[in-house]
Amino acid sequence: MGAGRRVLITTAITVVCAVTVLAAPGIAFASPAPTPSSTPSATASPTPVTNKDLEAVREKLDALYHDAAVATDAYNAAEEKSQKQSAEIVELAKKIVKGQEKLDELKDRAGAAARSQYRTGGIPDEAQLLLSDNPQAFLDGTGRVLQGQRATKGLIAELTRTQQDLKQYTADASAQWQQLEKNRQAKATAKKKVTTQIAAAEKLESRLEKQEKERLAKLEQQAALKAQTAWLDSGALKDTGGKASAAGKAAVAYATAQLGKAYEWGAEGPSTYDCSGLTSQAWASAGDPIPRTSQEQWKQLPHVAEKDMRPGDLIIYFADASHVAMYIGDGAIIHAPRPGRTVTVAGAGSMPILGVVRPDA
C-alpha cells in the first residue's frame, strides 16, 4: 500500500473539500502559503487506512454526490423550461406570420372600401334619387351602402385588433427570448457545478486502493442497511399494503425493465437515466406525464402518507427533494442512485425520506 496512505487519504479529502468550496460562486481566497515538502523514509512502515478514515470518505462522497444531484435538478429544470420556451417562441412566430398576413389582407380590403366610398360619395343622396331612372333601385342601393358603411367600420375595428394582437405577439416573443437566454445561462452554471462535484468525487475515490474501495462499499451497504432497519422498526410499513393501480403497475414494469442501466446526469433514457429521468419516463410510459425534476414532482404531485403508499408511488428524499425513487412494494424501491452506479433495487428507508407523492391520485 505504501507509506503514508492514511495521510494521503486525509489530504485527498481536504483537497476535495477545498475544490468544492472554491467551486462556489462569489468566494475568493488568497493563495495559500507554501508548505515544506517531506520525503518519507524508505524504511517507513505503511499506515493503514482505518474504517474511521473510510467513513470520512463515505460522508464526503455522499455530500459531493448530493450537491451534484441538486445541480442536476437545476440543470433539468432549466432544460425543461428552455424546451417549453423554444416551443412557445415557435408558436408565437407562427402567430406573427399569420397576423401579418391577415393585417395585409385587411389593409387591402380597407383600401378597396375607401376607394369605393370615394367614388360614390361625391353626389348627395337627394340628388342621386332625383336623377335616378329607377327610384326603387336607388333605395335598394342606399341600403347596401349603409351595410357597406357598417362593414367598413367593422373592418377598421378588426384591423385595429389585428395590429394590437401583432404587437402583443412580438412583445411576448421578445420576453420569451430573454427568458430563454436566462435559462441557458442557468443550465451552463448548473452543468459546471455538476461536473465539478462529480470530478471531485471521482478524484477522491481514485485515491483508494482496490481493497479500500471494497471496504468503502461495505460501509455504504452497512449505512444503508442501518437506515432501512431503523425505518422498518419505526412501523412505517405496518399498515401499508395498498394495491397498485393499472397505471402504477405499468410504471413499475417500465422501471423494472431499466434495471442495470447506467446512471447519467441529465439523462431520461432509453439507455441511461438520472433519478427523476427514470421516474418521469416510467410514468410517461404509463400514460400519466409528470414533471421532469424531483423537486417539481414533490411540489406538483399529490402527497400521500407513507402508511398509504402503494407500488408506483414516488418517494422523495432529502430535505431539498434532490432525489426520487419508485416504490415497488415490500419496503423496496427502484432508483437511479448516482454517477458510477446503475438502476437498482434498494430499501425504501435507506435514505432520509421527505415524503411520498402519487402521480395518478
Strand partners, 323: 317
Q: Which residue has the cell 430535505?
A: 319
Q: Is 17 a catalytic residue?
A: no
**Cα–Cα distances in angstroms (integers) from residue 209 to residues 49, 142, 200, 206, 213, in the given order:** 10, 100, 17, 8, 6
CA distance 305 to 282: 22
SS3 state at 52:
helix
CA distance 15 to 204: 9
Q: Tell me the three cell numbers of residue 27.
A: 468566494
Give the list of residues 6+ apart from residue 60 with CB closer than 8 angstroms, or none.
Answer: 13, 16, 17, 204
Query: Whole-angstrom distance between the N-terminal and C-terminal Cα of the chain?
Result: 56
Q: Is 66 a catalytic residue?
A: no
Q: Which of 17, 66, 303, 323 is catalytic?
A: 323
Helix, strand, coil shares of the chain as percentages rounded to 5? 60, 10, 30
Identify the helix (H) or strand (E) that includes residue 344.
strand 344-347
Within 10 angstroms of residue 43's Cβ, the number of other Cβ atoms is: 6
Q: Which of 17, 66, 303, 335 is catalytic?
A: 335
CA contacts within 13 A on the Cβ side of 154: 6
CA distance 332 to 310: 11
Closest by Cα among 342, 348, 338 to 316 = 348
Q: Tell me the three cell numbers of residue 283.
A: 410514468
Give me the active site residues, please.
275, 323, 335
